[in-house]
Amino acid sequence: MDLKEIRGKIDQIDHQLLSLIHRRMEYALQAGKQKTSVNDPSREERILKSLKSRASNPLDSDYIEDLFQGLISKSKNLQEQKLKLVAFQGEHGAWSEIAIQTFGRDMVAIPCLEFADVFAGVANHEFEHGMVPIENSIEGSVHEVNDLLVETDLKIIAEAVIPIHHNLLALPGCDYREIKTVYSHPQALAQCRSFLSRNKLEPRPFYDTAGAARWLAHERQMSAGVIASNLAAELHGLEIIKDHIEDHPDNSTRFVLLSKNEFTGDVDKCTIAFSTQHRVGALFDILGIFASNKINLTRIESRPIRKNPGAFAFLLDFQGSRTDPAVTRALEDIKAHTMMFKNLGFYKEART
Tens of pLDDT along 282-332?
899 999 999 999 999 999 999 988 877 777 899 999 999 999 999 999 999
pLDDT of residue 19: 87
Give the number of domains in the chain: 4
Neighbours of 206 (CB within 10 A): 23
* 160 and 214 together in one domain: no
317 falls within a domain: yes
Residues 160 and 202 grouped into a single domain: no
Alpha helices by DSSP H, listed for the chain, are 3-32, 41-52, 61-80, 95-101, 115-123, 143-151, 186-191, 193-198, 209-219, 230-236, 282-292, 325-336
CA distance 172 to 234: 12
* Mean pLDDT, range 228-246, rounded to an integer: 95
Q: What is the pLDDT of residues 296-310, one digit of tens each?
A: 999 999 998 887 777
At 352 the pLDDT is 65
CATH number of 301's domain: 3.30.70.260
Which pLDDT band, with edges at 50, 70 and 90, does 132 fall under?
very high
Give CA–CA dist 271/258, Å, rounded.
12
Residue 307: what pLDDT?
Answer: 77
Find the CATH number of the domain harbouring 94. 3.40.190.10
Residue 47 falls inside a structural domain: yes
Question: What gap in Å lies between CA 295 and CA 299, rounded to an integer?
Answer: 12
Q: Which pLDDT belongs to residue 340?
A: 93
Tens-digit pLDDT profile for residues 17-48: 988 999 999 999 999 988 888 889 999 999 99
Residue 297 sits in the same domain as residue 324 = yes
The residue among 220, 218, 183, 174 whose CA lies nearest residue 201 is 183
Evaluate whether residue 26 is within a structural domain: yes
For residues 164 and 245, give the distance between their C-alpha atoms in angstroms, rounded to a whole number. 10
pLDDT at 311: 79
Average pLDDT over residues 66-92: 94
Amino acid at 180: K
pLDDT band at 6 (very low <50, low <70, confident <90, very high): very high
256 within a domain of the structure (yes/no):
no
Q: Which domain range does residue 39 map to?
A: 3-80
Q: Is residue 252 part of a domain?
A: no
pLDDT, position 139: 87
314, 302 in Cβ contact below 8 A? yes
What's the average model confidence in pLDDT over 233-239?
A: 92
Is 29 a domain residue? yes
pLDDT of 309 reads 76
d(CA 302, CA 275): 9
Question: Would you name the residues annotated as active-site residues?
Answer: 253, 255
What average pLDDT does the chain have? 93
Residues 272 and 320: beta-carbon distance below 8 Å: no
Average pLDDT for 340-347: 96
